[in-house]
Structure 1
């Protein structure tokens, strides 16, 4: 069943609004005054979102997706907008429209996701930050519901469309696109082939490091990997890397295709067993807030707490809350907001903690979560 849609968003609706010719001067004035809910109201009064080009590419294409039965139900819609004032405005208008309308295009949940750096006013930022973040955001939401998601790549920059298609193929997710002259979607089903795992297996430290750090100064990158110069980097690996010059220094990062490849392979969490990922703090220096409250529970669970701060990846462990209500012995962990949340339940009560690491990418924290759960399961 497909009931989640990741939709790239462009400027076609905005162009129709600001010209004042399609929806009238009133809509143009509402847009300029940031009365965006009024524009959503005007859109709801328009007829035939499938064929009426006034709605813009996003609404036209979503109408096609629903009519063709590409989604079985309308559960969640992610609107990926550009890092511009216009992108934020159009995102709000579309969110209001897709939350409530009479055209059977309403979704239970609608999220607007601003893609940092996705702004064509600066070519360098667009290429080296915007496109990478676009892939990261699409991949993040695709991973949450891989069997239930479809990518609508109709709106946005042409580069967005190309990388959305490539990511869909890599993850085995269908991608849809609507051409201007047609009122139906062209569905690109995932190919029944996978990308070669061998390159990752031979270079897993590189992928893990750059996925975690985002970008790294070239000299540090070469030192960690053990190469003397850029010339030592294998050509097949360079296909997945960008080398960029910023403020007089060279940096290296996974390029968009490198990020897509990284999403397609099976990751080996043992790759974080390298000193580059370790904290330089002593275990006793990592504890924050444990002297404030929950002393009975802290005392009972102190051996487990010691085990946690002994893990080399944890830079600090914060006690954010506690309860003396007994609820048995169990654990719960969750990667969220750049940290690892750890909930520890004991016979004396519960401790609520947040573990922070040197790197905060979701995939790196998932690897740390795997290590933490192993320690907790052995000691609880």
Structure 2
């Protein structure tokens, strides 16, 4: 996705809009034909032929919420129907004389397809939250969310994210004449709870699903699920199958992780780390019998040397290496006052 957001300003110039199937009846036409038809209609707030997305966006614009119409992001399902509707909406808002936006983007949310319920639950909804968080990073507080269109779960997660980072969320109920700004929930993010469980939550956030045994073997993270805080258990899906208990971050858990990360960036926090007393030459711990890990160390020796030389590093432990778990992410886990990298 391409971004041109202007951070640091207090003006609202951006809308994120979830997309549903209110224009489904026009999907026998091409996206361009749908846009042309919509452009010839009148009364975009009251005329339901425009569909829920245009009805609600027109209502938001009529309330002078935006100081300028710069960026509009449509988030669609991972279906041909959703992609076609998204493309039609993009053309409409690019061509509209009275509701024109300078830049219009359409993103299809991978795996957000209700014909594949397992992928929808485990991947699609979490991917939706990640995309919203990514857009937010580039616009910070210069945006609002229009959560009128889409699946009920899609709407709920968009609302939860908006409330979590304290940006306005708008919704148009079926019987209402226009959108309403949803009142903020009397809740606040428990960033300390996130920090205390960051290692586990970050690991789950990187994996669609992971076996508890793999969590210990590959990440050196041992957990006793029953002893986790009740608030953390609510953020994790845990199911038993033939190979043991499988763990994954729930969609609401994804909202919690992303919102806490973004909120932490806004806090005025100063952190200091103690200088390590362990000699640099004694900081690397590895298995000399494990060929894969020794090859990984050899291939990345320059990076590992730099890591070992960082003043606060206590230990770099290489327990093994597996192509199955290769990824570009750098994993950093917190255990109380100790950081394991």
Q: Normalized against structure 1, the TM-score is what?
A: 0.66
Instruction: Check if 1:36 corresponds to 2:36.
Output: no
- Residue 172 of structure 2: aligned partner: 178
Aligned residues: 280
On the 8 A contact 1:2/1:72 being kept in 2, the answer is yes
**1:236 Cα deviation after fit:** 2.9
TM-score after normalising by structure 2: 0.73
Q: Distance in 2 between matches of 1:172 and 1:156?
A: 22
- Rate the CA distance shift 1:43–1:281 in 2: closer, same or farther, 3 A: farther
Unaligned stretches of 5+ residues in structure 1: 19-27, 287-305, 314-356, 368-380
Structure with higher strand content:
1
Question: Is the contact made by 1:168 and 1:190 (CA closer than 8 Å) also made in structure 2?
Answer: no
Tell me, yes or no, if structure 1 residue 225 matches structure 2 residue 221. yes
Displacement, 1:123? 2.3
Alpha-carbon distance between aligned partners in 2 of 1:242 and 1:60, rounded to the nearest angstrom:
36
- Which position in structure 1 is the counterpart of 2:19? 9
Deviations 1:208-267 (A, max 9, x none): 22223343222122453223x543444332111112467856431211121111123227
CA distance in 2, matches of 1:269, 1:283: 29
| C-alpha distance 245-95 of structure 1, shift in aligned 2 (>3 A) | farther
Whether the 8 Å contact between 1:222 and 1:230 is mirrored in structure 2 is: no
Q: State the shift of 1:207 in Å.
A: 1.8
8 Å Cα contact 1:153/1:175 also seen in 2 = yes
Tell me, which stretches of 5 or more residues in structure 2 are unaligned? 1-10, 266-270, 274-283, 286-292, 309-324, 334-341
SS at match of 1:77: strand
Would the aligned equivalents of 1:173 and 1:189 in 2 still touch at CA under 8 Å? no
Which of 114, 118, 135 is the aligned partner of 1:120? 114
State whether residues 194 and 264 of structure 1, in contact with CA within 8 Å, keep that contact through their aligned partners in structure 2: no
Contact 1:171 1:263 in 2 (8 A): no
Q: Which has the higher contact order (CA 8 A, sep 6+)?
A: 2
Question: In 1, are the aligned partners of 2:110 and 2:124 still within 8 Å (CA)?
Answer: yes
- What is the aligned partner in structure 2 of residue 132 from structure 1? 126
1:51-104 CA-to-partner distances (Å, cap 9, x unmatched) read 1100100010110111111222111111110011101111111111111112x2
Which region of structure 1 is more displaced relative to structure 2, 229-238 or 163-172? Answer: 229-238
